[in-house]
């Protein structure tokens, strides 16, 4: 992906990613690194586009 998405905080622990371009079908994998007070966590989410 040649784009730099941005993440917008919507409040109440919710965020929205903008500027994503899915230019090919197939499996896409998102990796989220969460820095929380006193903890760090990584979440992976797969998305399949036809």
Average pLDDT over residues 21-39: 91
pLDDT of residue 3: 74
Among candidate residues 30, 31, 33, the one with its CA nearest the CA of residue 47: 30
Question: Is the confidence at residue 2, as pLDDT, over 80?
Answer: no
Question: Is the confidence at residue 41, as pLDDT, over 90?
Answer: yes
Question: Is the confidence at residue 1, as pLDDT, over 90?
Answer: no
Identify the band that residue 14 occupies on the pLDDT scale cut at 50, 70 and 90.
Answer: very high
pLDDT of residue 16: 94
**Alpha-carbon gap, residue 1 to 29, rounded angstroms:** 12
pLDDT of residue 5: 87
For the chain, the domains span 25-50
Q: Cβ neighbours of residue 33 under 8 Å, at least 6 residues apart?
A: 40, 41, 42
């Amino acid at each position: 992906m040649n784009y730099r998405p941005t993440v917008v905080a919507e409040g109440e622990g919710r965020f929205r990613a903008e500027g994503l371009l899915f230019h090919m079908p197939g499996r896409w994998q998102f990796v989220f690194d969460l820095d929380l007070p006193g903890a760090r966590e990584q979440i992976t989410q797969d998305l399949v586009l036809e």
